[in-house]
Amino acid sequence: MTGRSTRLGSTKLSPDDLNQFEKKNISEALKWLYKKKPDFNQILTTDFCLELHKRMFNKTWRWAGTYRTQTVNIGITPFYLISTHLRVTLDNALYGISGIN
């Protein structure tokens, strides 16, 4: 088993146990999302994405709902460009959706 830094500190959860823990946290976030019923203009914002991420992982990871501040072994985007790439992606989606209406 690999130690992982969780909200409560280091843990010896197996990957399967960690996945189940995250799954429960995500399920709770989805309940919040369904009750909120946001529209596209609300969803396609960085604030909303960070809030959703926080709600999806806040009981699992201390850093939930924040941008990375260091390089990690997953993903290809340098941590200092993530906020910019997210904003561009959300703007592109909003632009695409606006052409539908």
In this prediction, residue 1 has a pLDDT band, given cuts at 50, 70 and 90, of very low
pLDDT tier at 52, thresholds 50, 70, 90? very high
> pTM of the predicted model, to two decimals?
0.79
The CATH class for the domain spanning 4-98 reads mainly alpha
Give per-residue pLDDT as tens, 14-24: 889 889 989 99
User: What angle (nearest 5°) sits at the alpha carbon of residue 64, between those of residues 63 and 67?
Assistant: 70
Q: For the chain, which residues make up each domain, given as ranges?
A: 4-98
In this prediction, residues 25-31 reach a mean pLDDT of 96
What pLDDT, on the 0 to 100 scale, is given for residue 11? 61
Out of 3-7, 63-67, 97-101, pick the least confident: 3-7
